[in-house]
Chains A and B, each alone.
Chain A
Amino acid sequence: MDPAPGQARSVLVSMLKIESLTANYGSTTVLHNISFEVSPGEILALIGPNGAGKTTLIRAISGVIEIASGRICLGEQDLAGLSTSERAKILAVVPQARQLGGAFSVEQAVMLGRTPYLNWLGREGESDRAAVRLALHQADLESFAHRRLAYLSGGEQQRVLLARALAQTTPVLLLDEPTNHLDLQHQTNFLSLLKKLTNEKQLTVIMAMHDLNLVSFIADKVALLVDGLLTSIGTPKEVIRAEHISAAYQTPVEIVAHPGTGAPIIFPLGILDQTK
């Protein structure tokens, strides 16, 4: 089904473009000349070994670390000139759940996502309350609204952080390894929720992830980072191939297609070698 001409144009207008992004920590270059694009409704998964620069790239795009050169654009708009609060109306971040703000209730924490829209007194209005109600509903947290964060499980806390980002009502969502500390059921729930919301709200999503099997099921695009370089980008089938993954992670793997969906599934052969 072809999109109507107007739709195609709006996709182009709001495409997130990372152009030749380079970032440094002190005198070390940690991201080299990275370029890619993500369209609304698409999930791009950032993969790569530990220390490859996935989290750094998320932080660079979100604006918490300065980029040395390159551009981050939403459509035609360069994000570089925006104030912190203007930028937070375009990009929302779902960090890894940490033990912070434990005394706040779920509702209070999600309301903080409205920060870029509040006045100098920090008073919320009806539109803010409506956005929070919607975000709580979307993240299936309504029954937890008055629970304190400290009393939630890891999976619930991660959903709170997602709801807070949703309440920020941004076109772009950045997630940093959101399923790391979740069990299989919660990983599945979280990712299917994210997939559903990405479709419904036509969000542009960039997500750093470790679990390559989950990546191949959820991602529309995969970007492989090695030592701060983007070595491969494309669909999961194009990127998650034995030669790419073995080279990037420096460990032999075998990849087979899932019999139902054709999604690539990874077997780390290194474990077998060790036990032989």
Chain B
Amino acid sequence: MLRQRPYLLNVTLVLIAFVFSIALGAVLIPPGTIFRILGSQIAGLNIIPDWPNSFSTIILAVRLPHTILVALTGAALATSGAAYQGLFRNPLSDPYLIGVASGAGLGAVLSMSLNWPTNLLGFYLIPIGSFAGAIITIVIVYNLARVEGMVPLTTLILAGVAVGAFASALTSFLMLRSDLQLFRAISFLLGGSPMIGWDPVLASLPYMLVGMGLLSVSGHMLNVLQFGEEEAKQMGLAVDRAKIYIIIVASLTTAVAVAFSGVIGFIGLIVPHTIRMIWGPDYRLLIPLSLLGGASALLMADMLARILLAPSSLPVGILTAIAGAPFFLWILRRAKREVFW
């Protein structure tokens, strides 16, 4: 059964969503043509073009980078969401709800307002500002929320919402004071729309690979942490080091996603919980499956966002919120009946 083959199922879903994401749009390009256009880019394969020139431009310059960025963003938000949930032992932790995403957004906007990216190097600098924003936010939220060594749900969300709102307000202020270029960039960020072209893809790729790679091997630490920091230490985990590792890596991953795709809520919440319901609480499985599930979930949301109001398109962040909120409530109802947290 597919449930027994979690990786096969999730990799297949990502591949299907990936191809459909490239195929769909104002012009429908059949998957066969997509493969031939992509193949024609590989040296040595001798594929004779039998498609309109515009097709290869649409795919190679627009839809392929867009699709890759959306997949990376979804993967990043879902893995860091899963990691934050494990770290805080709190099912409501999501980069968006605990304010990290807003802090990362502010950092990204600050770095863009100081130095508007005119080349690829400029793009590489944006995630650094975004990362700094995310780390500062998480440190503030964590310390505000901490009560006697625990981070209870209520204080975490309250602190996250407050600090997140503060960061968003600063972002809006910067937006009002900014020139047209920055103004447009910020409105994209706030709505949750991935940037266009190859530069953001190339700029986020190294950070993403490092961040998600390091998160994927943190599963055992997160498992041990589920029994409380004191017990984790008694079981032999260097707790302080593990916490810092996870905070830094999860914040880096979130920050890169936010820097180039803006604030996209609920993916970090819905995907890990769905995976958890189907495949259980083991973070060694949960993190890599959230990576795959996050990619396919955001790709699907993005396709809907492009189709629903075609020919214009909806920011995908709005769509994940519209679809995510009811889904989230359904999870809450189900959690009452069955233990999966």
Contacts and interface: CB of A to CB of B under 8 A. Distances in A.
Nearest to A164: B235
B284 A101 contact: no
A148 B227 contact: no
Contacts of A24: none
Contacts of B227: 100-101, 109, 112
Contacts of A83: 238
Given A98-B228, A100-B226, A151-B339, A84 B217 contact: no
B92 to A, nearest CB: 16
A113 interface: yes
Interface of A: 59, 62-64, 83-85, 87-89, 91-93, 95, 98, 100-105, 108-109, 112-113, 115-116, 118, 120-123, 148, 150-151, 164, 168
9 A-B pairs with least C-beta separation: A122-B220, A88-B236, A116-B236, A103-B281, A150-B339, A85-B236, A93-B234, A101-B226, A115-B236
A113 B235 CA distance: 6
A112 B89 CA distance: 16
Classify the secondary structure of B's interface with A: loop
A122 B234 contact: no
A64 B282 CA distance: 25
Contacts of B340: 103
A103 B231 contact: no
Interface of A is mostly: mixed
Nearest to B221: A122
A91 B234 CA distance: 8
A84 B238 contact: yes
B224 to A, nearest CB: 5
A95 B228 CA distance: 11
A120 B339 contact: no
B33 interface: no
A51 B223 CA distance: 32
B51 interface: no
A118 B220 contact: yes
- Residue from the set B230, B236, B281, B284 with the largest chain A CB neighbour count within 10 Å: B236
B339 A102 contact: yes
Nearest to B238: A84
Contacts of A104: 223, 226, 281-282
A116 B226 contact: no
Interface of B: 89, 217, 219-221, 223-224, 226-228, 230-231, 233-239, 276, 280-282, 284, 339-341
A121 B217 contact: yes
Contacts of B339: 102-103, 148, 150-151
Contacts of B236: 84-85, 87-89, 115-116, 168
A115 B237 contact: yes
Contact of B233 (A63, A89, A101): A63
A121 to B, nearest CB: 6
A168 B232 CA distance: 12
Contacts of B220: 115, 118, 121-122
A83 B334 CA distance: 42
A103 B224 contact: no
B55 to A, nearest CB: 44
A87 B239 CA distance: 14
Nearest to A109: B227
B302 to A, nearest CB: 31
B272 to A, nearest CB: 12
B230 A59 contact: yes
Quick one: which of B217, B228, B235, B284 has the most chain A CB within 10 A? Answer: B235
Most chain B Cβ neighbours within 10 Å, of A59, A92, A101, A120: A101
A91 B231 CA distance: 12
A148 B277 CA distance: 13
Given A103-B276, A122-B220, 11 more contacts: A84-B237, A84-B239, A88-B235, A95-B231, A95-B234, A102-B339, A104-B281, A108-B281, A121-B217, A122-B221, A122-B223
B235 A112 contact: yes
A109 B280 CA distance: 13
A227 B282 CA distance: 42
Contacts of A123: 284
Nearest to A150: B339
A152 B276 CA distance: 20
Given A64-B233, A84-B233, A148-B339, A112 B224 contact: yes
